[in-house]
Amino acid sequence: MSRYERPVSPTEWLYLAAERTMPPFAVQLVVEGEGRLDPAALTRAVRVASAACPGARLTRQGRVWVDTGQAPPVTVADGTSRWTDHASAPLERTCEVVAAEGGVLFRVSHTVMDGRGALTWIADVFRALRGEPPLGAPAALTDYELVERLGTPGRRPRASAGWRSPVEPAAARHWARRTIDGNHPGLVAKLAAAVAAFTGAGRSRFMVPVDLRRHDTAMRSTANLSLPVFLAAGPDETWETLHKQILRALVERREVTGGALERAAYRLPLGLLSRLLTVAGDRHLCSAILSHLGRVDPADFSTGGFQASTVFALPTHAPTAPLSIVATALPGHTELTVAHHGRPESAEALLDAAEAALSPHRPRKISRA
């Protein structure tokens, strides 16, 4: 069997520059629950799952990702540390696993995987822990190869900097988390309306990643297969109007139109590209990134000695956006997590506004990352 490899796509080239600018540029997912994951068993399971999902074992050679054949390392965290302590550390490999009492953190460089890709690999880790065969993810297709196959005429909206941050700016980067009762139809549109109203005067622009796997449901891949659609919203915009924007974009397959920004970035050396991202400073390409990882069943992330109760993200800090919100829907509750370049109290106020929009008659339920 030949060694797994795939080209670095234009999107991933831009992510490599972002990683230099604002490390760790990572997709980080926490599985929390009751019980304990044996480190030795977890290490074996990571090895088995990563052999079936070779996108977890990549290194870059020029403009090609190649399989090293080496499973991601598993470390055991100090019992007094928090997930955010580990999530802030540099990535030594493209994928890493941190185990702790009551849960496990999966750290994945966004240069090699998107959120759904990471969940694909993580689910196989837990299959291996349960003694089940992994489903695997052998596909080596890139997002732009899919765009070539599926692309529609036209272009995305013109990229423009200068969008206002919804939260009061600060030099440090932070995460915030909120657990909200129930599941919420039209969640991304409701979040967009809440953030636009919180931002106030003027219009907001939201980047919404769309999973390209919806166009080929038989394909199993861990790669970056998400491209955006964009929403424009005023402070008085209703969520119903924004939801129609999203549905129209999906029907018109706008996520597979050509991305001029990524194609232009692909022609630049990484050093120059990273400097351009640094120069952008507070001039953002959007007001916020709004991601929905979809429905997650804790049973898929459980094993004999460990019963998962929730799964949540510690979103990527991006140099081109001041704020990123990731939602995960679980039975009976929804996790909202925020990565932001702002004042912590401002981000908490934003989450208050989002929760009020989603559950206006329920008491506030706070979770800490």
Residue 346's domain is classified under what CATH number? Answer: 3.30.559
The pLDDT, as a whole number, for residue 170 is 86
Q: Specify burial of residue 240 (Cβ count, 10 A radius: 0-12, 13-18, 19+).
A: exposed
Q: Where are the beta strands (DSSP E) in the chain?
A: 5-7, 26-35, 58-61, 64-67, 74-76, 95-100, 103-109, 169-181, 204-211, 226-233, 288-295, 306-314, 323-330, 333-342
- Has residue 21 been placed in a domain? yes
Which whole number is the average pLDDT over 250-256?
90
- Torsions phi, psi for 95 (to 5 deg): -135, 140
User: pLDDT-based confidence at 360, cuts 50/70/90?
Assistant: low
Q: Is residue 110 part of a domain?
A: yes
Name the residue among 53, 77, 78 with its Cα closest to residue 67.
53
Enclosing domain of residue 336 = 5-152+160-358
Residue 105 forms part of a structural domain: yes
pLDDT band with cut points at 50, 70 and 90 for residue 139 = very high
Residue 367 pLDDT class (50, 70, 90 cuts): low
> Is 193 contained in some domain?
yes
d(CA 298, CA 83): 19
On whether residue 344 sits in a domain, the answer given is yes
Domains identified in the chain, total number:
1
Q: Of the candidates 291, 301, 369, which has an alpha carbon nearest to the alpha carbon of residue 87?
A: 369
Q: What pTM did the predictor assign?
A: 0.94
Query: Who's near 267: CB < 8 A, 6+ residues apart?
Result: none
Half-sphere exposure of 6 (CA within 13 A, CB side): 26
Give me the chain's average pLDDT, please. 92
Residue 351 has pLDDT above 70, yes or no: yes
Q: Could you tell me how many helices (H) and strands (E) the chain has, helices first?
A: 10, 14
Return the minimum-mean-pLDDT range out of 47-56, 197-206, 227-236, 251-260: 251-260
Judge whether 302 lies within some domain.
yes
Question: Is 86 a member of any domain?
Answer: yes
Residue 197 has pLDDT above 90, yes or no: yes
The answer to whether residue 347 sits within a structural domain is: yes
Torsion of CA 293, 107, 262, 321, to 10 degrees: 70
